[in-house]
């Protein structure tokens, strides 16, 4: 087969261009430090690089979730530690209140500190996190969960919702606890009751009901689980005309007291329960006494303060205070146990976060190493390869020059 000069020239030029392309590609690898400059350099490795980068992006999101979950739980743990300290101090004050030789001044001095601790407690239970979310409010995180109603009594306005964050492909962790389970649903030492005013009351300023005291435990135990409704009647229902109320059972509407005259600050005793209503209720205003086997932490502390301020120093007053002190100690211990259990749960979640973070850090290291092998060039090898390819390019160029100068006329 005859080979023309143009074929020879074309073959030589093609070889130069190929070698030049290799040199340029290797130069780009050396300059960028990357083995794959374009997807066409290694399509299989490029696919693997994309998969590894996606995995690292997911790990980065998990890392942010881990940090957020850890911060939330550590803040909740710190708040609970503060609440435990408050309740421990209230417990010490309760023991002091059990001293049978306390004077009225002694009891009021203790009551004053209990009042301060109560405010601290309520502030702690209404603590926000860094993003302005109330820690113990459940899903209702935009409003304070523990409020003292204008008409008296404490109310939990949150819910039992629990927020979760995903910290791994198949792992989620709770980042909050509802205050209802920790501070509200506390088993009471004995059957007790909770007082409150109806939201529809119209008196202005609103009449306020006290947290009340138990004056006959046996009578309350017998009445439980019935509830009481105190409703204020028209003033014309009694002679002489004036404020008066009727007491009925909440279930069935059985009348227990009818058209009882009332004056502001009067105490009302019924079925072993005793409450005081301050102010002048309007016609139709209602107040509730709900019997229960649970007592929230705020009511426990408030009831202690109320008893210290109002208990008499006679024999009956001392006996009632002694019983209240005994029950309060049990209620405080039950509250402390509830918080300790929650702290243990938080500790378990923090351990899960730590172990998950350690595992993901190991996975991240392996992924980075694989990415490095796939994506990055060995500089020493690349420089050596570049030198070799430059040598081949120069040889091709010199060969082309020599071949293109061949001619029979050079032999004449």
| 321 and 398 fall within a common domain | no
The pLDDT of residue 374: 62
SS (H, E, C) 3-36: CCHHHHHHHHHHHHHHHHHHHHHHHHHHHHCECC
Closest CA relative to residue 173, chosen from 45, 339, 352, 53: 352
pLDDT digits (tens, 9 = 90+) for 120-148: 999 999 999 988 999 999 998 889 999 99
pLDDT digits (tens, 9 = 90+) for 289-329: 999 999 999 999 999 999 999 988 888 889 999 999 999 99
Average pLDDT over residues 81-108: 93
| 314 and 411 fall within a common domain | no
Cis, peptide link before residue 390, omega less than 30° from 0: no
Single out the residue in 244, 277, 294 at which a domain terminates.
294
Q: How many residues does the chain have?
A: 412
Strands 286-294 and 154-156: unpaired
The pLDDT of residue 1: 47
The pLDDT of residue 409: 47
| 180 and 322 fall within a common domain | yes
Phi, psi values for residue 34, rounded to 5°: -110, 135
What count of Cα atoms within 13 Å lies in the side-chain half-sphere of residue 377? 23
Single out the residue in 234, 261, 294 at which a domain terminates.
294
Q: Which residue has the higher pLDDT, 251 or 366?
A: 251
| 170 and 215 fall within a common domain | no
Q: Which of 4-18, 194-208, 283-297 has the lowest mean pLDDT?
A: 4-18
| 224 and 304 fall within a common domain | no
| 64 and 180 fall within a common domain | yes
Count of the separate structural domains present in the chain: 3
| 163 and 198 fall within a common domain | no
**Chain-wide mean pLDDT for the chain?**
86
Q: Which of 115-124, 153-162, 320-329, 390-399 has the lowest mean pLDDT?
A: 390-399
The pLDDT of residue 29: 54
| 288 and 310 fall within a common domain | no
| 290 and 300 fall within a common domain | no
| 57 and 153 fall within a common domain | yes
Q: Which of 51-55, 141-145, 232-236 has the lowest mean pLDDT?
A: 51-55
Q: Which residue has the higher pLDDT, 12 or 289?
A: 289
319 lies in which domain range?
42-185+295-376
> Residue 331's pLDDT band (boundaries 50, 70, 90)?
very high
Q: Which of 93-102, 258-267, 291-300, 400-409 has the lowest mean pLDDT?
A: 400-409
Q: Which of 44-48, 65-69, 111-115, 206-210 has the lowest mean pLDDT?
A: 44-48
Question: The tokens of 265 are what?
Answer: 């600050």
Single out the residue in 255, 279, 294 at which a domain terminates.
294
Residue 187 reports pLDDT greater than 50: yes
- CATH number at 59 reads 1.20.1330.10
| 274 and 194 fall within a common domain | yes
Residue 227 reports pLDDT greater than 80: yes
Residue reference for tokens 């005859």: 2
How remote is the C-alpha of 267 from its chain's centroid?
A: 41
> Residue 393's pLDDT band (boundaries 50, 70, 90)?
low
> Residue 173's pLDDT band (boundaries 50, 70, 90)?
very high
Pure H helices in 98-138: 104-125
Highest mean pLDDT among 34-38, 286-290, 395-399: 286-290
Closest CA relative to residue 270, chosen from 249, 243, 294: 249
| 209 and 328 fall within a common domain | no
Cis, peptide link before residue 41, omega less than 30° from 0: no
């Amino acid at each position: 087969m005859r080979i023309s000069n143009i074929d020879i020239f074309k073959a030589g030029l093609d070889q130069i261009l190929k070698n030049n392309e290799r040199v340029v590609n290797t130069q780009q690898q050396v300059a960028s430090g990357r083995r794959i400059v374009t997807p066409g350099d290694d399509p299989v490795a490029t696919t693997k690089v994309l998969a590894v980068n996606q995995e690292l992006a997911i790990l980065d999101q998990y890392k942010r979730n881990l940090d957020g979950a850890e911060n939330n739980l550590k803040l909740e743990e710190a708040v609970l530690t503060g609440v435990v300290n408050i309740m421990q101090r209230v417990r010490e004050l309760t023991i002091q209140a059990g001293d049978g030789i306390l004077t009225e001044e002694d009891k009021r001095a203790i009551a004053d500190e209990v009042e301060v601790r109560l405010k601290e407690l309520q502030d702690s239970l209404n603590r926000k996190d860094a993003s302005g979310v109330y820690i113990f409010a459940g899903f209702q995180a935009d409003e304070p969960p523990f409020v003292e109603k204008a008409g008296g009594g404490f109310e939990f306005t949150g819910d039992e919702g629990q927020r979760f964050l995903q910290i791994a492909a198949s792992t989620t962790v709770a980042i909050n606890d509802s205050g209802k389970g920790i501070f509200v649903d506390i088993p009471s030492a004995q059957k007790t009751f909770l007082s409150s005013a109806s939201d529809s009351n119209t008196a202005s300023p609103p009449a306020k009901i006290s947290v009340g005291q138990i004056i006959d435990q046996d009578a309350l135990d017998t009445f439980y689980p019935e509830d009481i409704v105190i409703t204020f009647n028209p003033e014309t229902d009694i002679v002489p005309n004036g404020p008066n109320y009727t007491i009925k059972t909440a279930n069935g509407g059985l009348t227990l007291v009818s058209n009882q005259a009332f004056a502001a600050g009067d105490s009302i005793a019924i079925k072993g329960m005793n409450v005081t209503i301050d102010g002048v209720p309007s016609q139709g205003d209602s107040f509730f006494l709900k019997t229960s086997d649970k007592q929230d932490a705020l009511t426990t502390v408030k009831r202690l303060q109320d008893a210290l301020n109002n208990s008499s120093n006679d024999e009956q007053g001392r006996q009632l205070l002694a019983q209240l002190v005994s029950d309060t100690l049990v209620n405080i211990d039950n509250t402390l146990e509830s918080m300790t259990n929650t702290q243990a749960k938080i500790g378990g979640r923090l351990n899960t976060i730590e172990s998950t973070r350690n595992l993901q850090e190991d996975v991240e290291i392996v992924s980075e190493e694989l990415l490095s092998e796939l994506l990055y060039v060995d500089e020493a090898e690349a420089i050596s390869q570049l030198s070799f390819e430059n040598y081949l390019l120069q040889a091709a160029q010199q060969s082309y020059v020599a071949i293109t100068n061949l001619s029979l006329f050079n032999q004449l």
